[in-house]
Amino acid sequence: MVVSEHPPLRIALLGCGTVGSEVVRLLHSQADDLTARIGVPLELAGIAVRRAGRTRDLPVPADIFTTDPAALVARDDIDLVIEVVGGIEPARTWITTALKLGKSVVTANKALLAEDGPALHEAAAAGGSDLYYEAAVAGAIPLVRPLRESMQGDRVTRVMGIVNGTTNFILSSMDSTGAGFADALDEATALGYAEADPTADVEGFDAAAKAAILASLAFHTRVNAADVHREGITEVTAADVASAREMGCTVKLLCIAERRRDPAGGDSIGVRVHPAMIPRSHPLAGVGDAFNAVFVEAEAAGQLMFYGRGAGGAPTASAVLGDLVAVARNRITGARAPGESSYAALRVRPMGETLTRYHVSLDVADRAGVLAAVASAFSEHGVSISTVRQEGHGADAMLVIVTHVATDAALSGTVEALRHMEIVRDVVSVMRVEGEPSR
């Protein structure tokens, strides 16, 4: 690429925490390579931080820092903006302003994209600028670009994966040590895998935001965080994990987005985040600790899997810089990436219509006819039972039931009915079962 006539591209970095600091380091250490790949040099022109005085061990002059991100974004000499602050506001205002001013934006802000993605895309279209966000989903793993570009000639039917490292660390730990949720969370916090306020991770908000972004891209349909059925892992007990183990499964927090033909014709999609038991032979079962892995299934391509580090400063910065090179190249050649694609506008199914399987553990009375009564409750709701296992005797008798596929509404109706049966002393555990063994 011979575009040496072009002046350097000037970058504003909003946020200088774990990811931002790595972005600064990579911009410095890879400067020559980035220049060769883009055709013109990149120049870090300003870094917006909350506190300017703080000492930072970064290869940039001290006067580059500012506490006024709005002014930085609006500066005439800024060509490209990187946002790694997170949260809805004021990030939304900064990004929208930049895009409308024709400055391309690279962001890792999953919450904002899942909340208000269409408005950001509109701002980009209005300003003729680019909005890139590979780092918003699954850290360094290329997922946004493959969905946005590679799969464009195919029909994606399903996206299923592990997209939150914190909960995966906690569940892996519960599985290997037998610990309960609270202890495993404490361990994750002590090791730096969980934040001081772990709500966004353990309640599934983070995974739900990523699910919304992936579903929007996969199905060419606007999906926001509120469209995603979300259940976190705080209710997962040591008994659930032990029960999963007994049936050759492990518990994972899954993000699942599925396209399906409706009985009435036309396609609809369902998007959900919840803990589920998956067979230990499933490739996702082996994804440990802070790794992420996502399956993408498409009609022609078949099953694809993407695996790697889903978080952390350096992996996330790698994704940010990959996007930065793309928007920089576009800026120089006057090109613009395809914007939002929401033409399909598929119906988003409520959770009740989702087809899934349940694993149910019941503490039942020690009495003849219990199994028959429980089985009737399932069949009355149109739910077919796959396996029943009786554990213990007398006062400790437990029934462990795994169903065939049914609608989530029928399954939860069954559980509700079981809760009201006199012979059921307690519904000990209810969890969905996903994933046939594969490979």
Cβ atoms within 10 A of the Cβ of 125, count? 15
List the catalytic residue out of 103, 110, 210, 252: 210
Least Å from the CB of residue 325 to a second copy: 4
Confirm or reject binding of residue 31 to a second copy (CB under 8 A): no
Vertex 61, ends 59 and 65: CA angle to 5°?
105
Could you confirm whether 210 is annotated as catalytic?
yes
CA distance 398 to 236: 18
Residue among 69, 63, 78 at smallest CA distance from 49: 69
CA distance 128 to 137: 24
CA distances for 213 relative to 113, 116, 220, 349, angstroms: 7, 10, 11, 17
Number of residues interacting with a second copy: please give it, by CB under 8 A. Answer: 64
Confirm or reject binding of residue 3 to a second copy (CB under 8 A): no
Interacting span for a second copy (CB under 8 A) from 85-93, 97-105, 261-269, 305-313: 305-313
Q: Please, which of residues 277-296 interact with a second copy by CB under 8 A?
A: 283, 286-288, 291
Confirm or reject binding of residue 325 to a second copy (CB under 8 A): yes
CA distance 262 to 175: 37
Give the phi and the psi of residue 193 in degrees, each rounded to 5. -80, -20
Q: Please, which of residues 118-147 interact with a second copy by CB under 8 A?
A: 134, 140-142, 145-146
Q: Please, which of residues 155-194 interact with a second copy by CB under 8 A?
A: 155
Q: Sort strands 65-66 and 42-48 into parallel, antiparallel or unpaired.
A: parallel
Cβ atoms within 10 A of the Cβ of 68, count? 11
- Find the helix or strand (DSSP H, E) in which 94 lies: helix 91-100
Confirm or reject binding of residue 41 to a second copy (CB under 8 A): no
**What six digits make up the tokens of 154?**
């195919």
Q: Please, which of residues 416-435 interact with a second copy by CB under 8 A?
A: none
The nearer residue to a second copy, 36 or 239, going by C-beta atoms, is: 36
Among 183, 306, 405, 423, the residue binding a second copy under the rule CB under 8 A is: 306
Beta strand residue intervals within 345-421, DSSP E: 347-348, 355-364, 385-391, 398-403, 406-407
Least Å from the CB of residue 360 to a second copy: 31
Least Å from the CB of residue 399 to a second copy: 35
Burial class of 100 by CB neighbour count within 10 A (0 to 12, 13 to 18, 19+) = middle
Residues 6+ apart with CB under 8 A from 11: 27, 42, 43, 44, 45, 78, 79, 80, 81, 82, 324
Residue among 189, 160, 157, 161 at smallest CA distance from 173: 189
Q: Please, which of residues 44-103 interact with a second copy by CB under 8 A?
A: none
The nearer residue to a second copy, 247 or 325, going by C-beta atoms, is: 325
Residue among 295, 307, 9 at smallest CA distance from 161: 295
Interacting span for a second copy (CB under 8 A) from 210-218, 243-251, 255-263, 329-337: 329-337
The nearer residue to a second copy, 57 or 63, going by C-beta atoms, is: 57
Confirm or reject binding of residue 108 to a second copy (CB under 8 A): no
Q: Please, which of residues 224-243 interact with a second copy by CB under 8 A?
A: none
Least Å from the CB of residue 82 to a second copy: 11
Q: Locate all alpha helices (DSSP H) within 334-407, ordered by sequence.
A: 370-380
Least Å from the CB of residue 146 to a second copy: 4
Among 267, 330, 363, 421, the residue binding a second copy under the rule CB under 8 A is: 330
Q: Is the peptide bond before 90 cis (omega within 30 degrees of 0)?
A: yes
Confirm or reject binding of residue 318 to a second copy (CB under 8 A): yes
Cβ atoms within 10 A of the Cβ of 216, count? 26
Residues 6+ apart with CB under 8 A from 349: 260, 268, 269, 270
Confirm or reject binding of residue 339 to a second copy (CB under 8 A): yes
Least Å from the CB of residue 333 to a second copy: 6
Least Å from the CB of residue 45 to a second copy: 18
Confirm or reject binding of residue 28 to a second copy (CB under 8 A): no
Interacting span for a second copy (CB under 8 A) from 33-41, 50-58, 93-101, 362-370: 33-41
Least Å from the CB of residue 106 to a second copy: 10
The nearer residue to a second copy, 132 or 205, going by C-beta atoms, is: 132
CA distance 329 to 336: 9
Confirm or reject binding of residue 37 to a second copy (CB under 8 A): yes
Among 83, 240, 323, 408, the residue binding a second copy under the rule CB under 8 A is: 323
Binding site for a second copy (CB under 8 A): 1, 22, 26, 30, 33-34, 36-37, 134, 140-142, 145-146, 149-155, 220, 283, 286-288, 291, 298-309, 312, 314-315, 317-326, 329-330, 333-336, 338-339, 341, 343-344, 439
**Active-site residue list:** 210
